[in-house]
Structure 1
Amino acid sequence: MRRTRKVDWRVLRAIMAAVAAAISGGLSTEAIASALKGEAFFDTPVAVLFFAVFLLAFWWLYRERRTFLATRLYWHEVDPHRALIVLLTLPNIIPQKTNGSFPWVLEKGDTKVILKGESLENEANDPNLEKLRWNWQQLMRGILPHVGTLRVVYLLGSDGSGSGSFRYLDDAEELIKQYLPEVSVRRFGRPVDFEGDFEGLVDCLNQCVQEIQWEYRIHEKDIVIDVTGGQKTASIAGAMVTLNTRVTFQYVSTTDPRKVRAYDVTLESPISL
């Protein structure tokens, strides 16, 4: 049986609009130039007509513009990176420290977990830690794919009018340094509004990317933003920073917590000739 190829009329309309705008634009330019010279064929009314056709074709092309610049979201299992930017979530269980440091004791109800700070992989995937539903377990799992290549972790804390995650940056740094003492931990100098100031969050993330590039000489492709700890606004901000750059953002899966997926947002045209 012969297979028929379906025509994508949206793409066809966009191509026709581009051709119409190009032809009418060329004709209107020539007509206006000829009318100014006083040539008989391209008199003023004809020039005005060609120009009107060009405006109509341009409007048509504008209506079809989304066909030429379509947003695409690509995802894959995250690769090891050298720099990780973390939107830190507020811990739902505050660790009890031994002499102000490790081991950390996490306790809720009948479940008790002791983080000894010995093996990141073993302790991040501890089944008892899953029972606790400690949300910083996702932070530990988000770091795991980058062990061995990671040079810097950049932490951003939320505002929350004094009750955000910014005041727990010390604990987050201590946690990371306990397992990865060779990794540099940077902090964004002020609390960031993860919810109400979208543009401000995008600016902060871009600033973090620039600082990592400048101070650590790390290329865009080696920088990943972890948005697991943020809300929907933070995830969208992370996606915006990756738009047409080589920076990616990652998310620790909730359905399969051992999987960390990397995402990249690009603008590209679906039209191919």
Structure 2
Amino acid sequence: MPWWRSLLRYWKPFLTVLVLPVAGNVFAGELRDLVYTGFGWKDPAHYLWWTTGIAGALVLAMSAVAVLVGRDLFRPHNIALGPRRNPHPHPHVVLFLSNLNTAHGRFDAGVPDGLSLSGDLDADLRELVRRKNPKDLRHGEAAVRWPWEMSLRGLFQHRGALRSVTLVCSRESLVQAHWFARLLTDRYAAAFPHLLNPDHVRLLVRAGRSVALSACPTTGEGCAGDPAVMAWDFEDYDELYGGLVAMMDQFAREGTRDTDVMVDVTGGQKPNSVVGALLTVNRRAKFQYVQTNTPNEVIAYDLMTDPVGN
């Protein structure tokens, strides 16, 4: 958009920014003269009282206008998404873990009944595509839809470079997190060799007014902690956003750079996807989404706000 069209479209904020500093400068000069006159440092005959009043009134008026047009002054007018298909691998991925609906399906350690995993993640992901298409099913096979397929696809994009996975769990998925962690550290250890350390698959949990990153169990009955501390409400924007901001601060204290962080927003509910995306605005961290239909590509976005009119 040409600059003169931006000027016409946003004339109120431009006028406010132009006039308010000038009026403030004039008012400051008039106040200085008032002080000088009061202390006898300036001849009262050369001081015009009415100019101070006019300058003060103008400052108050323009300040009121600034408040009224503040939305135009300070809001981000445009957001550049900068999408990139199949992004380069990142060492640290944050993942919203979807829950498995055990009331409408049987799962063996998180794996749907009737699905045999080979341990080769690339081959298993191709098999999952085939098992979703009724035309490709063999005799006796049932269609399989696995909520964790897309999460595994998102992590597979970062194979080789992946050093840690941070799971953000709801109350429903918290009790299944150990199954997912076991898939990464056991069944698919060949794809994620750097996750074999128990501390490299972690849960985002509350710690007083801040958060902590706790090692995710891979054995037994799973997470035994208080769900009020360890689980997050995927539909509570304020709770999630505050927790994720604190998480990024924790990453920084650990020496993790924003450029090394990818937030996967495919899993969970829609509100947590919004939170994950907005967390990366004007940060060097990025967020990604995995297509739920073929070709099942991973698409990453770099959210940056643009100046007015761009």
Write the mapping of 1:108-123 to structure 2, written as runs, cut at 5 A. 112-118=114-120, 120-123=121-124
Which residue of structure 2 aligns with residue 262 of structure 1? 300
Counterparts of 2:89 and 2:284, CA distance in 1: 14
Which residue of structure 2 aligns with residue 101 of structure 1? none
Counterparts of 1:6 and 1:21, CA distance in 2: 21
Which residue of structure 2 aligns with residue 59 of structure 1? 64
Which is strand-richer, 1 or 2? 1
Is 2:265–2:277's contact at 8 Å kept on the other side of the alignment? no
What is the aligned-residue identity percentage? 25
Is 2:150–2:292's contact at 8 Å kept on the other side of the alignment? no
Is 1:68–1:269's contact at 8 Å kept on the other side of the alignment? no
Which residue of structure 2 aligns with residue 75 of structure 1? 82
**Secondary structure at the residue paired with 2:162?**
coil
Counterparts of 2:268 and 2:45, CA distance in 1: 68
Consecutive unaligned residues in structure 2, runs of 5 or more: 38-43, 133-142, 206-229
Which residue of structure 2 aligns with residue 100 of structure 1? none
Counterparts of 1:67 and 1:232, CA distance in 2: 30
Task: Decide which of 126, 133, 147 is 2:145's aligned counterpart.
Answer: 133
**Secondary structure at the residue paired with 1:148?**
coil
Which residue of structure 2 aligns with residue 229 of structure 1? 267
Task: Decide which of 85, 91, 96 is 2:100's aligned counterpart.
Answer: 91
**Secondary structure at the residue paired with 1:270?**
coil
One-letter identity of the residue aligned with 1:241: L
Which residue of structure 2 aligns with residue 219 of structure 1? 257
1:96 and 1:227, CA in 2 relative to 1: closer, same or farther beyond 3 A? Answer: same
Q: Report the aligned-residue RMSD.
A: 2.7
Which residue of structure 1 aligns with residue 154 of structure 2? 142
One-letter identity of the residue aligned with 1:106: P
Shift of 1:219: 0.9
Counterparts of 1:82 and 1:219, CA distance in 2: 10
Shift of 1:53: 1.0
> Over residues 167-189 of structure 1, what are the superposed CA-to-partner deviations in whole Å (9 max), with x where a residue is unaligned?
01111101122222422211224
Shift of 1:5: 8.5
Counterparts of 1:194 and 1:259, CA distance in 2: 24
* Count of aligned pairs between the two proteins: 252
Q: Could you tell me the TM-score, scaled by structure 2's length?
A: 0.71
Counterparts of 2:162 and 2:53, CA distance in 1: 63
Which residue of structure 1 aligns with residue 17 of structure 2? 18
Is 2:90–2:260's contact at 8 Å kept on the other side of the alignment? yes
Shift of 1:229: 1.1
**Secondary structure at the residue paired with 1:29?**
helix
Counterparts of 1:23 and 1:105, CA distance in 2: 68
Q: Could you tell me the TM-score, scaled by structure 1's length?
A: 0.80
Is 2:265–2:272's contact at 8 Å kept on the other side of the alignment? yes
Consecutive unaligned residues in structure 1, runs of 5 or more: 98-103
> Over residues 153-172 of structure 1, what are the superposed CA-to-partner deviations in whole Å (9 max), with x where a residue is unaligned?
0112102xxxx100011111
**Secondary structure at the residue paired with 1:250?**
strand
Which residue of structure 1 aligns with residue 210 of structure 2? none
Counterparts of 2:251 and 2:124, CA distance in 1: 29
Write the mapping of 1:180-219 to structure 2, written as runs, cut at 5 A. 180-183=192-195, 184-189=200-205, 190-196=230-236, 198-215=237-254, 217-219=255-257
